[in-house]
Amino acid sequence: MTSVGRVIDPAACPLDDAGFIESCRIQLDRDGVVTIPGFLRDEAVAALVAEAEAARDKAFFTSSTHNVYLTKPDPALAGDHVFNRQITSSKGCITTDQVPAGSGLHTIYDAPSFRRFLAQVVGEAALHEYADPLSSINVHYASEGQELGWHFDNSAFAVTLLLQEPEEGGEFQYVRDLRDADEGEMNFDGVADVLDGVVTPATLPVTAGTLVLFRGRNSMHRVTPTVGGRTRILVVLAYNAAPGIALSEAARMTFYGRLG
């Protein structure tokens, strides 16, 4: 068994199976999201949760406000305009350099077979790690009351692994194709309807050990507040379509509280 095969269950996610890869690609293009339950072996989930809990005292915790577009407010618009409405997000985070060298997360992230699989599913020629030492693998902690507010992603796709579900809450909710970022269409009315509860979002059921691929650039999404004493633990595996890209210094200071 390969090292990655000790962490990933090949029965749930056969990384080199052309038919499986194609079915994932079709689903991502059609639905904007793919979930692979059982992606992690049960013993891998248990080990990674224990590892994350042991590293929790290193986490950088933030509580911030932002608009759904993750941009600065526009003073030319009214303070209550949807572009300027502020949403709250709060979480803890440990970074790539804080994940132990022998972690299964590094095994997955660095595995050529996993990168090839992802690249084929998301339609990229190849995928590359971040050039900075913090941004490739992030472990997020959401304790009771913490949440990820409504927003659109800046990236074309996101790759996440849920390690631990909370007792309640912590639900991933989304509204597909709410804007067209490439055309500059921000759909202020549609966004306002979501924020005001006029539109009911879809909820994505995700259990521990599940891999999620999500296109969030045009689909607004959030994670509802955690309820109860069990922390929601999520891993973000971040790649770029080109080599040598680093997260900006401003973003690193905002998300991690340091540059390296």
Q: What CATH topology corresponds to 4-256?
A: Jelly Rolls (2.60.120)
Cβ partners under 8 Å of residue 20, min gap 6: 13, 14
Could you tell me if 98 and 141 are in contact, meaning their C-beta atoms sit under 8 angstroms apart? Answer: no
Look at residue 1 and give its three-state secondary structure. coil
Confidence of residue 155 (pLDDT cuts 50, 70, 90): very high
Q: Model-level pTM?
A: 0.96
Average pLDDT estimate for 115-143: 97
- For residue 34, the tally of other CB atoms under 10 A from its CB is 21
Contact 61, 91 (CB under 8 A): yes
User: Does the structure show a pLDDT above 80 at 188?
Assistant: yes
Per-residue pLDDT tens over the stretch 166-187: 999 999 999 999 999 999 999 9
Phi then psi for residue 120, to 5 deg, are -70, -40
Confidence of residue 1 (pLDDT cuts 50, 70, 90): low
Domain ranges of the chain: 4-256
